[in-house]
Structure 1
Amino acid sequence: MIRVVLVDIEGTTSSINFVHQTLFPYARQHLRAFLRAHADEAEVHRQLDEVERLENRELSLQDAADVLERWIDEDRKVTPLKALQGMIWAEGYRQGELQGHVYDDTPEALRAWKASGRALYVYSSGSVEAQKLIFGHTAVGDLTPLFSGYFDTRVGGKREAESYRQILKTLQCPPAAVLFLSDVGEELDAARAAGLKTCQVIRDDSTVPTADHPQVPDLLAVRLD
């Protein structure tokens, strides 16, 4: 019996295009102005220190912006970039310039799983703050009350089995009672290596199918028995 459903975001609950065609360009467009306005704030300063550590060199604010823009273009899954993107997006959501995208079947499936007594969690390469923003500002309202918790790259990369073992320690749940949903085969492989149940969500032709995991076209087709 599945007791916990762990969901990816891009390509699973939400459109990859929303992230890559709306969120990423928005963060890139507003990055330098955001850094100029907030560089002295403790959390922003902490993330800039981490950028320097990863680059192994001292950086001016302009240099740091250059590095962050390069990381955006390379779609790097690094924590300081994700954290700063989340802060920029938070301003966009507050100002009404952004609205989180979820597929039409996502709210219905999440509510049904929650009503059946399952606990719902998110694991995405985007920061926890960014995850909450996406689900907190959708066209159908705030979906965050449906979730019991969130995980990001601070537990490790999504293609590493150890990341899922760390998640299991937090969940305090047997691996076979946790179902991980993603569109990416390598992520599902890593989750399965940690003992989790898996299912690949194939929304469209942009997803590479893998016969190693059960497949569904949307969340309403997911079986939890």
Structure 2
Amino acid sequence: MQRRYAWVLAAGVGLLAGVASCSSDGNGGGAMEPETGTVSGTVAAAGTGVGGASLTLARGQTTRSATSSNAGAFSFTGVETGSWTLTVDPPDGFVLAAGQNASVPVTVNANQTTTVNIALEEEEDPGSGAVLITLSGTSFSDDDVTISVGQTVRWENRDGTLHTVTPDGHSQWTEVVLDSNGESFEHTFNTAGTYAYYCNPHRSVGMTGVIRVQ
């Protein structure tokens, strides 16, 4: 009887050891690391890298930020796979080039690099003519501009989306629709004052601006 009892006890201990071994196996459970990739590219104007551009990579509530180097390069590493949106804010002295959207969709694949290049151009010198304000996405390139009496402002569509330049509480001009890439509107301000305006389709998301004439 004692010999049989010892055999049963040994078998039970062996079974428990086997269960413990399976439970502690590193391959038996735990959260898997998400697959990731890289998003990189260059911000450039006329083929020359532009530094100081602010870039934001967003998906839902998750955002990551970067600034282009002096050579115009930027990179986001360890980005989870899937669909993201890359948004660029040009540095002072530059605006989005014709046809370049402020926000572009990006697809990230596992262990791969997705390349996105951003095209800018130098902002027109106010002293040489009209002050340029571009319309792209849901914003004006400069939403608070101060000029002198007699100066001209030109608004130019840069993404092909329908935008308007609509006066807000004044009659300096009547609403203008700019619905194609490169289409523009100019107005010369001959009276001092503060003139607010907005884009009708995108006013609810903050696409507003003001011209201060001194």
TM-score band by shorter chain is under 0.3
More helix by percentage:
1
Of the two structures, which has the highest relative contact order with CA contacts closer than 8 Å and spacing of 6 or more?
A: 1
Q: TM-score, normalised by structure 1?
A: 0.25
Which of 1 and 2 has greater Rg? 2
